[in-house]
Amino acid sequence: MAGSVQTRLETGTSKVGGATSSDLLNKMRVRNEVFAPAEVGGQDGGEAEEDADVFVSDAGSLELLKRIREYVMFECAKFGQATTKEIMDEFGPKLPPENSAKFRALLKSICDLDKKDGVGVWKLRQDFK
């Protein structure tokens, strides 16, 4: 075969490096269903901002969102905030790599990131306390 892309004639899917095009599209759909940022015109110049709303389409995502909230609120060194290291130590080993975009979107939907001296601190938004 001349290239590294293989196409299945019966399904019309392409396979690149072990992942079919339909697999990639499904992953993108899941990511987009979980977090769909809305653009809101700003008062000073109309810059777009991300909306804090998160759209959870499955029970697994809802459970993960609840677990993130509970962890940040009650189980970290400081109540209501967690360092990126604390979050990675807690969730990193438990989370499959293909769910990292979903996890990041869920985390961003309930926490704000504040970086000081190269250390990321995720603070739970008031709405979720």
Q: Is the pTM of this model over 0.85?
A: no
The pLDDT of residue 1? 45
Phi-psi region of 18 (alpha: psi -120 to 50; beta: other; left: phi over 0): left
The pLDDT of residue 111? 96
Give the CATH number of the domain where residue 76 resides: 1.10.10
pLDDT tens digits for 102-122? 899 999 999 999 998 999 999
Residue 37 in domain: no
**Which residues does 52 contact at the CB level (< 8 Å), separation at least 6?**
109, 110, 125, 127
Residue 28 to residue 117: CA distance in whole angstroms: 34
Which residues form the domain of 71?
Answer: 57-128
pLDDT tens digits for 7-35? 444 444 444 556 677 766 666 665 555 44
pLDDT tens digits for 69-94? 999 999 999 999 999 999 999 999 99
Strands (E), 28-128: 40-41, 48-49, 81-83, 111-116, 119-124
Domain count, the chain: 1
The pLDDT of residue 55? 57
How confident is the prediction for the chain on average, in pLDDT? 74
SS3 71: helix
Residue 108 in domain: yes
Measured between its terminal Cα atoms, the distance across the chain in Å is: 57
What is the arithmetic mean of pLDDT over 61-74?
93
Q: Which of 5, 36, 32, 28 lies closest to 98 in space, CA to CA?
A: 28
Residue 6 in domain: no
How far, rounded to the nearest angstrom, does the alpha carbon of residue 75 sit from its chain's CA centroid? 21
